[in-house]
Chain A
């Protein structure tokens, strides 16, 4: 039987009677707890997220499809931002959920499920990047962009500062165009809310390296946003 995860999110009539939404729910990924899928999606239709998770762990395909429906946007967005490429992000999202399928039975609830899945997806992306030759072991070298990719400096150019709000699309575009090493650090720290010590562990680099690379990434983004803003003004 084909399972449509989009229906799973709405129609959980196959599940057990309604229970109150779990207190912890899915909101434990740092930085963006508010954007997690609301546990009430499941609870309102008759199952708590914990119940769905337990069913998926027991091998229930419909429950797994429901987990996909709940987390697909976050995982796909994460992959897309980390690699900056749609086709690769789709492939990585597929790989992340395949990994989830293989390992869901090992989830013990030591952290929130969304945090666990999120970390798994990041590792899938990092594995892929390693295979592609981005050596995260010698991170200093690997993450140092070529001279032409280094962020420009702003000596004596007080003409345009980033006052007020930053256009979301311009920022997304600028992030997608960052060199891979800068993008990884920026996405993990500034967008996903990971701390430098966590990033250092994930990327096998020093905390100082993570901090300095983040600074360079922000400088590069500032250059891109100023450029984009000037282009807008000329129109």
Chain B
């Protein structure tokens, strides 16, 4: 990777990325991406994060007493004069 083959520096490319992504332009075809190992690694990291996020499951249980609070709220609403 030579400096002369890059139209953009890493700084310029990374600052431009949100705009490029928003426009739907193909990042993979960008000259800087094709020539810069560092920026390719950065984007690969972001894909790794996205992949890890897809594996996150809804594992957190709400507290046991939440249902009784909901049930109370439902009953209050049913008994409210405004109901019906």
A residues at B contact (CB < 8 Å): 2-6, 31-32, 35, 61, 64-65, 68, 72-74, 76-78, 80, 89-90, 93-94, 97-98, 101-102, 153-156, 158, 161-163, 165-166, 168, 171-172, 175, 186, 190-191, 193, 206, 208-209, 211-216, 218-219, 221-222, 225
Contacts and interface: CB of A to CB of B under 8 A. Distances in A.
A218 B59 contact: no
Contacts of B24: 208, 211
Interface in B28-70: 37-38, 41-42, 44-46, 48-50, 52-64, 66-70
Contacts of A90: 62-63, 66
Given A153-B11, A155-B11, A158-B38, A73 B60 contact: yes
Contact of B70 (A98, A156, A168): A98
B19 interface: yes
11 contacts: A65-B71, A73-B58, A90-B66, A94-B69, A161-B42, A161-B45, A162-B49, A190-B53, A193-B54, A208-B22, A218-B50
A111 B78 CA distance: 28
A98 B63 contact: no
Contact of A156 (B19, B21, B38, B61): B38
A65 B57 CA distance: 22
A76 B22 contact: no
Interface of B: 10-11, 14-15, 17-19, 21-24, 37-38, 41-42, 44-46, 48-50, 52-64, 66-71, 73-74, 77
A158 B41 contact: yes
Contacts of B21: 211-212, 214-215
Q: By DSSP majority rule, is chain B's interface helix, strand, loop, or mixed?
A: helix
Contact of A31 (B15, B46, B54): B54
A76 B60 CA distance: 7
B49 A166 contact: yes
A156 to B, nearest CB: 7
B53 A65 contact: no
Contacts of A89: 62
A83 B48 CA distance: 23
Contacts of A161: 41-42, 44-45
Contact of A215 (B18, B38, B55, B68): B18
A175 B57 CA distance: 14
